[in-house]
Amino acid sequence: MTTTSGVSRPPELRQPNVLRHFGQWLRNPGFISASPTLIFFLIGFVGPLIIVLGFSFVPERTFGFHGDWTVENYVHIISESYWISFAWSFGLAAATVVCCLLIAYPVSYGLARIFGRWAAPVMLVLVIPLFVSENVRLFGWYLVLLKGGGILAGSTKFLFGLDTGTLLYSPGTILMGMVYVYLPYTLFPTTLGLSLVPRDQMDAASDLGANRWQIFREVELPIAMPGILIGSLLTFVLAIGAISEAKLLGGANIVVIAHSILHEFTYAQNWPLGSAISMFAIVITGILVILVMRRLDLDRLLGRK
């Protein structure tokens, strides 16, 4: 006898397993409606990344997946001097974010609170350069900063008899170019973040005796922070992949990581090593992005709560 009473237990309900859950999910009209976009996303975005990932594990200077798998490309990156390129790329990207924030914050504040009806024309002036190719804009800076007959050097020589010497080919010039190119990507999310700060809360803080610095630190900055973080993140990720600034304004005296990847995919014809450097950069950038995203409340920024 296994039962202590004469009452039999009801049969156990069959628990849905993972496979069944997945099947139900596949039959969900929402999933079915989204599937064309999902397929497009998988083929167009995830697919190439998987190919790049695969290439990073094949022997150097091979062009297919028929060889043995190897990690020698990653070993090569660590054992050779690629850390210099990574350090330059990440360092310049971080410096670009800091400079962009320092410039963007006051401008955003003006756009959100002060400029009033002039905000739209100011915004237009800031947006218009984005209609022109980045390379063309940077070449414009090259012509401005060039020694001798350059626009700046020629003008100062003509007007004041001053010889500016060379202003190109230095890390500072590269940083200037990057700040110029990526400023809008910090500016607009920061403006959005600042425009979400309710005037009433600032007035209330003021009425309760907070000074300007306290209002900034305790009210304005926390509320605007999601916008600032998104702008910083966007700028950082784009700046990691920057190449034209270092090549044109920096005279390639610095080889950034995108330039190293370009070397391997073109003249070196070493797709596996180029893929491994790309994956390395993606992973490091991804980790940094995840760390920042954990601090970010998208629902709050988008007004969903």
Binding-site ranges for other proteins (CB under 8 A): 27, 29, 32-33, 35-36, 61, 63-64, 80-82, 84-85, 139, 142-143, 146-150, 153, 166, 168-169, 247-248, 251-255, 260, 263, 266-270
Least separation in angstroms between CB 158 and other proteins: 14
Number of other residues whose CB lies within 10 A of the CB of residue 207? 8
Nearer to other proteins, 252 or 293 (CB): 252
* 67: Cα within 13 Å, side-chain hemisphere: 15
Nearer to other proteins, 77 or 112 (CB): 77
User: What span, in angstroms and rounded, lies between the C-alpha atoms of 162 and 142?
Assistant: 19
Least separation in angstroms between CB 77 and other proteins: 11
Least separation in angstroms between CB 33 and other proteins: 6
Nearer to other proteins, 139 or 216 (CB): 139
User: What span, in angstroms and rounded, lies between the C-alpha atoms of 294 and 268?
Assistant: 39
Nearer to other proteins, 110 or 154 (CB): 154
Q: Tell me the H-state helices in the chain.
A: 18-27, 29-41, 47-55, 72-79, 82-109, 119-127, 134-145, 151-160, 171-195, 199-207, 212-215, 221-240, 244, 257-265, 271-293, 298-301
Least separation in angstroms between CB 169 and other proteins: 5
Least separation in angstroms between CB 263 and other proteins: 5
Nearer to other proteins, 110 or 241 (CB): 241
The contacts of residue 170 (CB under 8 Å, 6+ apart) are 250, 253
For residue 201, what are the CA distances in angstroms to 6, 192, 223? 69, 17, 10
